[in-house]
Amino acid sequence: MCGICGFKGSYPQSLLEAMTQTMHHRGPDETGFFYQEGIGLGHTRLSIVDLDTGRQPLFNEEGSVTLVFNGEIYNYKEMRERLMKRGHRFSTKTDSEVIVHAYEEYGESCLEDLNGMFAFAVWDSIQQKVFLARDRLGIKPLYYTIVNGKLLFASELKALLQCEEVNQTLHFGAIDDFLTFRYVPGGSTFFAEIQKLPPGHFLTFQHGRKRIQQYWRLHFKEERQKSAEAFAEEFHALLQDSVRLQLMGDVPVGAFLSGGLDSSVVVALMAEANHVPRKTFSVGFGMPQDEVGEARRIASLFGTEHYEVGVTPEDLFSLPKIVWHLEDPIGDSIIVPSYLLSQLARRHVKVVLTGEGADELLGGYVHQEALLTVDRIPPFLGDVLGHMVRGTPVSLLDHFFQYPASLGKEGRRRLSLFLRRLGNRKENYLYFVSLFTVEDKKELYTEKFRALLPGGREEEDLFAGLKETTDFTNWLLKQELSFWLPDDILFKQDKLTMANSVEGRVPYLDHRIVEFLGRVPSRLKIHKGMNKILLRRAFRNILPSETVTRKKQAFFMPLEGKFQKTFRELCNVYLSPERVKRRGLLNPGFIAAIFKKSARSPLLCHKQLMALLILEIWFDVFIEHQARGEEKVRLHEGVV
C-alpha cells in the first residue's frame, strides 16, 4: 500500500525527504511528512481505501499520537465501531486510523486485535516513544538501524542508505547465507548495521534505548478428535471469509492466476463473493511446461477478464533494475517473470490477491515431499541407495523427478551424496535445500572470504523449531513459515509488486487460518505422496476435478532453450574470471567449472550460476555505483 520511514534523533528534514523519495514507487499518489526537532516520519501513499481523506501521517484528537502505516487492516470496520463506542472520534474513513485509536486505548497490546498485513510506526509524544511493529507472518517489510544512539527505520533498505551516518559495512555472514539458501534468512541484511524487524515482533525506542518483543508465535498442537470433513468445512469457511475481507478497497482488485490449485481457489472464492467481473493475470515462457493454458481455463470458468504476459530473453537484461528494487538479493530467475507479472497487473489494477502461503502451510513443495519420503528410510540403507542412484541413468531419474529441468550428472551426484548421509534431520534439510553445500564452499570461497566470515554461524536459530516437536512434517512446515516464507516468498512479492505500485494480498495468510492449520493433523496436509490434502478436500466441489487432483507444477523459469544465449552472455560479463578475481571473494576457476558443466546438468548448475550472477549484479548496483557516485535515478533505470 505504501512506504514509511523516519528517525528519532537530530537529523534535518532534508534527510526525511530524501528517504521518502527513494520509495516513491511504493506510493506515487501522495507524500506526507511529520517533522519536529528530534523526530521525523515520512510516508508515500498508494491510495486504496478512503481515497479523499486518508492522507498520512495520521493523528489522534489531541495530536499526541502520530502514525505512518504500510499495509491493510481487514477488520478495521469492526475495530472502528468498538473504538467509537469507547469515545474515540475518527476524522477519516481509512483503515489506518484504527491503529491510532487502538494504540491510544490499548497501548502495545493493540497488535492483538489487528487482522491484516502491516508495518507501521507510532510516535507517542507524551511518552517520548517510537513504536514500530510488523505483522505476524512478515508480509510487509520493516528495516531499522541505530546509529550513535539514534534510530532510523524504513520500508526499504535503500532509504536508510540516504543517511551518511549509516555504516555500510558488508555482512559477509549474510552473503554466506545467500549462497546457501538463495535468500537472506532471519533478521540480517547484506549490510551489517541494518536489520529487519522479525515477523510478529514490535520494537520500542525510548530515551535512547531499544526494546524488541515478540507478540505472536505459531504453535503446532494437533486436534485429533475432529473428523477430516469437519476440518475441511472449517478451512473452507475461514478462507472464504479471508477472501471476502481482502476484497476491501475503493479501487479495482485483481488476482495472479497460475492455473494451479492455490490461485484457482482464490479466484473461485473472489467470483463467489462478488459477481462483478474480476481481472486475472498470468505469465508464461512459451515453453511446454507453461501453465498458461490451465490459467485460461480457470479464467473462462469464472468469467474473469484475463491478461497474459510472455517472458522473452531480452527481459533478463532487466535484472539490475529488479535487484535494485529487491535490495537484499533473491538468487532465483523467477524474479524476472514475477516482476513482469506485476508490471502487467499495474496497467489494470492497484491490488491483486495471490495464492502465496498455501505451499508453506500445507506442504506443497517438491523438496518437502522428498524430505518426508527419505525420512521414512532407515539410515543404514542410505549407502546402498546412494550407490544405486549413482549408477542410475539420469534420464530415468528425471522421469521420477517432478521438475521441468534435467537433474544432469551434477544433480545425480548431489542426490547420491544426500542419500548416503541420512540419519540427521537437521543436516538432511540443510544439505537438501543448500544451493552450495559446505563441501562446495571449500572450493568456491577464497581464503579472503573465509577470513571475513563471522565465527559461530547462526544455525541454531534456523533450527530452533526442532526442539518443540518430534513430528517431522510440522517441524519442516515451521521452518518454511519462519524463514522461507517471509524472507523469500513474501519478500519478493512485496518488493516486486510495490516496484510497480501494486499491492499484493495473501488470503491464505490470514492469521486465523495459520493458527487453525497449526491444529490440523499433519496427515491432512501432506501424506504418502499427496500434498495440500485439506485444501483439495475443502474445495473439491467448486473447482474442476482435474485442477483439484493435479500435482503442483513448479513455477520455474527455464534458462536453457531460447533463454540460454542471453543468460550465458550475462554470465560472461558479470562472472568473467577477471571480474570475479577482482572482487576477491569467490574462486573464478570453480565458477568456470560450473559454467562448463551447466550444459549437461542444467537444473543445479543454472540455479548456481543465476545466484552468482545476481550476487555480482548486487555488488555492481549497491557498491560499485555508489562508489562511483552514480545518481540514484540511474540505478532505478537499471543502468549497468
> What pLDDT, in 10s, does the model give residues 170-189?
999 999 999 999 999 999 99
What is the average per-residue pLDDT within 612-630?
Answer: 82
What is the average per-residue pLDDT within 162-167?
Answer: 94
Give the best-scoring range by mean pLDDT among 387-401, 447-461, 549-563, 593-607.
593-607
- Confidence check: pLDDT of 30 > 70: yes
Domain extent listing, the chain: 2-214
H/E stretch holding 2 reads strand 2-8
The edge-to-edge listing of strands for the beta sheet with 39-45 is: 30-36, 39-45, 2-8, 150-154, 143-147, 195-196
What are the pLDDT digits (tens) for 33-62?
999 989 999 999 988 776 667 789 999 999
The edge-to-edge listing of strands for the beta sheet with 65-73 is: 58-59, 65-73, 116-124, 129-134, 201-206, 209-214
What local confidence, expressed as pLDDT, does residue 277 receive? 75
What is the average per-residue pLDDT within 451-471?
Answer: 65
DSSP letter for 481, please.
Answer: I
List the grid coordinates of 146.
541505530
List the grid coordinates of 135.
505483522
What is the average per-residue pLDDT within 149-169?
Answer: 96
Active site residues: 2
- Confidence check: pLDDT of 637 > 50: no
Q: Is the peptide bond before 57 cis (omega within 30 degrees of 0)?
A: yes
- Confidence check: pLDDT of 585 > 70: yes
**Could you tell me if 68 and 43 are in contact, meaning their C-beta atoms sit under 8 angstroms apart?**
yes
pTM over 0.95: no
What local confidence, expressed as pLDDT, does residue 635 receive? 37
What are the pLDDT digits (tens) for 505-532?
999 999 999 999 999 999 999 988 889 9
Q: Comparing C-alpha atoms, which of 360, 365, 369, 372 is closest to residue 514?
A: 360
- Confidence check: pLDDT of 630 > 60: no
What is the average per-residue pLDDT within 93-97?
Answer: 92
Instruction: Give me the chain's average pLDDT, please.
Output: 90
Q: Using CA atoms, how far apart are residues 381 and 374, in angstroms rounded to an integer? A: 10
**Contacts of 324 by beta carbon, 8 Å cutoff, 6+ apart:** 158, 621, 622, 635, 636, 638
Higher-confidence residue of 427 and 235: namely 235
What local confidence, expressed as pLDDT, does residue 409 receive? 74
List the grid coordinates of 7.
528517525
What local confidence, expressed as pLDDT, does residue 419 receive? 81
- Confidence check: pLDDT of 404 > 80: no
What local confidence, expressed as pLDDT, does residue 486 receive? 97
What local confidence, expressed as pLDDT, does residue 187 receive? 94
**CA atoms lying within 13 Å on the CB side of residue 314:** 1
> How large a percentage of the chain has pLDDT more than 90?
71
CATH number of 2-214: 3.60.20.10
What is the average per-residue pLDDT within 96-104?
Answer: 96
